[in-house]
Amino acid sequence: MERVLSSVLEAIGNTPLIRLNRIAEGSPRPVAVKLEAVNPGGSIKDRVAVRLIRQAEADGRLKPGGTLVEATAGNTGIALAMAAAVMGYRSWFVVPDKMSPDKIRILKAYGAQVTVVPDVPKDDPHHYQAVARRLADEIPGGAYMGQFLYAANPEAHYDTTGPEIWRDTGGHIAAVVAGAGTGGTITGIGRFLKEQDPGIQIVGADPVGSIFTGPVAPFKIEGMGEDYYPDTLDPEVVDRWIAVSDDNAFAMARRLAREEGLLVGGSSGAMVHVALQVAETVERPGWVVALLPDTGRNYLANIFQTETEAL
């Protein structure tokens, strides 16, 4: 029996759900994590990229030989750059300067062009989304991918991530913890799981300084947290938001590598920090599931700097 995939894009999804052992020891509810780092582009955003491209093709915004343009904190860019290589498109990304240098190198390794802009508020004309939109209009064949705008983003999680969690837990779910950048993950998963069982608690982990839990201020966690409510987030599906500091998120990311063998990013640390709190208080029996959105290889130069410099 041959099992050869027709391209790397067929290797996306069906990621493993893994029990936490040492870190969740003594927890009143078992905690399981969904390891999105094993997607070929290293993050949960691989699930969204091909759908955004197909949407742009279907709308007539993207033509053969065109250039994908997107505002991204990195992972959507990596996913789109990978898909662009397979599908024969060019790609150009606008990223905020708080983004990890490792992610910028990865974008370039896939052949993408990268423009770095200051990390300014949404209403500033230099905001990465505004710059990306202008770029898409200005360059011939440019098409704005719009991960913050299009339903293709939450739909990817409604169709794949949510059903995988339901299948792999046998439906025994007390709560799911996800973050919100675009809100695509939490919206898609939340809608799917609440249709199966409305009692499942959907918990949003949110960086201190992000709008979903409090006053807007700078924070270092990448990929989650915003200073406005994106179109792709449906706040109705979120039962509860819990804030988490950069320090707690990064400390947990380091523990996940050393104590569970899971080399994941700062947003993953945030999810697990919050998941342990949820496991202490949630009334329903069942698994507390935390999403681990990306690989720690994206953050060797910042979150894991101390460890890597010691070598």
Q: Which is nearer to ligand PMP, 15 or 182 (CB)?
A: 182
129 binds ligand PMP (CB under 6 A): no
Active-site residue 34, yes or no? no
Q: Give dist(CA 266, CA 250) in Å, integer.
A: 5
Q: Which is nearer to ligand PMP, 169 or 298 (CB)?
A: 298
Q: Which is nearer to ligand PMP, 30 or 225 (CB)?
A: 225
Q: Which residue is nearest to ligand PMP (CB)?
A: 223
Q: What is the 3 state secondary structure string of 43-103? A: ECCHHHHHHHHHHHHHCCCCCCCCEEEEECCCHHHHHHHHHHHHHCCEEEEEEECCCCHHH
The one among 15, 43, 160, 210 contacting ligand PMP by CB under 6 A? 43
The one among 41, 179, 207, 296 contacting ligand PMP by CB under 6 A? 179
CB of 193 within 8 A of CB of 289? Answer: no
The one among 181, 190, 207, 269 contacting ligand PMP by CB under 6 A? 181
Spatial CA neighbour of 291 closest among 33, 66, 17, 38: 33
222 binds ligand PMP (CB under 6 A): yes
Q: Which token pair is 13?
A: 């999804």
Using alpha carbons, list the distances in angstroms from residue 103 to 51, 98, 114, 212: 22, 11, 11, 26
The one among 184, 209, 269, 296 contacting ligand PMP by CB under 6 A? 184
DSSP states of 185-197 as a string? Answer: HHHHHHHHHHHH-
Site string for ligand PMP, 138-177 (x = CB under 6 A): ----------------------------------------
Q: Which token pair is 34?
A: 């969904």
265 binds ligand PMP (CB under 6 A): yes
Angle between helices 46-58 and 75-87 (to 10 degrees): 60
Q: Which residues are catalytic?
A: 45
Sites of contact with ligand PMP (CB under 6 A): 43, 45, 73, 75, 179-185, 222-224, 265, 267, 293-294
